[in-house]
Structure 1
Amino acid sequence: MNRPNRVHRDLSDADGTLYKPGQRRLRVRASYDLSSQLVPSEGVLELYALLVAEGPTSRTQVDADQLAALEAAGLAKHIDGVVETLAPFAAIDAMTRAGADAATHLREATSALEQAWQSRPHREGTVEFVQGAESAAALAAIIAESNDVCGFNRVTSSNTPKIVAGALDGLAQGMTIRIVYDSGLLANEAVLAVARACVAAGEQARVLPGVPVSMLIGDFTGSLSLPGSQGPVPDRVIFRAPRLLTALRDVFESLWDKAIPISETPWNSGDQRSAEDRLLLSLLSVGLSDLAIGRELGISERTVRRRIAHLQGVLGAKTRFQLGVQAARQGWFSDL
């Protein structure tokens, strides 16, 4: 029995071969992937609806790939060259089982992928050398991408003190910046002024003698200044290496605990404790020798010893250690 043609059908195969007049070939334009889809594609479901309406249909009139998809989903079968549709509810169990099998295979594949990922060659990240304007821009980039920044500032006579671009804005927005400055800061008014401006904006700053290198460590990127740089901006190495960042943060934390805080305001020279005495105690507390303290203050080693002895008498301290403890208890370091 002939049935009216109610759905548009292609009359040619993908290679352009025409079928004989009167021979209908059922095929719906749709993309599908038999290897990845558990549920039949829209095109295959549309073909199913067409076959239900058509009734038993010659195998030669149905596209082979889409028929295979229907049979795989349990929605059709063909016997003796005739395609017949099956009730959709009968296919649900088959689809469910196929889904469970696919989930098992997916877990197995994920496990294999995880093993491959864990055995991958270890890569430490990238390292880049920058100079001049690029060096300054690299520091600004570290500030821009980070929420927690720490670092060292090794004060040198050749470098011009300057606030890193974006640092003040970052502090205003709540980011954390902690810097340990070399003790040379205390003898360099320009650097000290920059440090105090940053502290006033929210930076946490401390001072320590012998800071080995200038560095800045952000959330994802770090910077190390290279010795022997010429010009106002030092040459730097920029690195994105997680293990190195972690190691340098550990170094920073160990020195941060030993350093002395810096205040945002200069010492009050009219205070009963002179600014020079407090500076002397600060330098003494971080381990500088009498000779080094004298050089920092511009006085002789003998004068340093005499002043220390005087301060011990004032605070009733028998040793230099007790002197530091008593000075801290009296708040002598609170203005640093």
Structure 2
Amino acid sequence: MTDDGPGDDVLDLLDSGVGLTPALLAAYRVLVAAPYATVGRVAAALDVGPDDARERLRALADLGFVGRAVGTQDAGTAEARYVAAPPSLVLGTRLAAHEVAMRRAQAELDTLEQMYRLAGAEGGADDVVQVVHGAAEVAHWFARVQSGARSEVMAFVQHPVAVTGADENHVEDDLVRRGVQYRVLFEQAMLDAFPGGLDAFAAGLRAGESARVTGSLPLRMVIADRDLALLPVLTDPSHAAAAAMLVRPSSLLTGLVTLFDTLWTRAAPVVLDLPSGVPAVGVADDVDARLLSLLLAGYTDESAANQLGISPRTVQRRVRELMDRAGVRTRAQLGWHAARAGWGD
């Protein structure tokens, strides 16, 4: 089995929490796999010069990760050999201490968060809404609101995008990897603006984002954990990034959350692949799944055909086949059957 080494998140943890830089970790891994290695062997394994390898071994020795093996010099050269300390000893104890520190930091974070919420609840009306000015500041808060989320991010995305494009929002990718749930409601115009628009959403959806489509949205906004929202002061897309409002816990925020939940419930899910567990009498392939998604979102046959790269006649034929398999006679009945069967889940 090929060992590609630890990921960047593990490397960052070992560097910051243990003092084991990527360069030192690479040398330590050589010694773990090849006990009693010489400087020359370590240098060859890492494709570095002897001086570089010797410096890494010296640093590892200072950290307690390696030591010289007693009585194991090469005959004739007296070149010292090095042996790695047991990983459970040198890494286990350090990581355990790091975990204790992280738990204490989390406890402090929870305390500060509670203090913050109480201060907000006791504050006046002036504390509920904070206005930030300038495109750079708005973009900063757009990222900050999301990055502070611990469980859920909800967003309305109108066309055209005012703050950032999907490719630029790396914060979302990081949060999804951490288990934060993303629910994004898009205007239909977002799909209309790009040929093959469904494919543009594939990366986000497959990374863990839940997306739905609706005809139009009343505003742009992003909400984190249902207790902090960011929305533009002006609805005009050409000025949306000029100033934005931060809305903290209040009846106003409750109204924004309720608005999102209501429109989310009414919107059509974006379906890119055939759902698992689809009944035998149901959609036949991924194209059918995407077609249903578009029709439920209110697309005409022609618009759906443009999105799928097929002809309107093919759309009509596939719809008839879907109706036959579902045992219904109208498109309205097909939509009801699709929702009941979970085709769009």
Give the TM-score taking structure 1 as reference length: 0.49
Task: Please identify the structure whose Cα radius of gyration is greater.
Answer: 1
More helix by share: 2
Give the TM-score taking structure 2 as reference length: 0.48
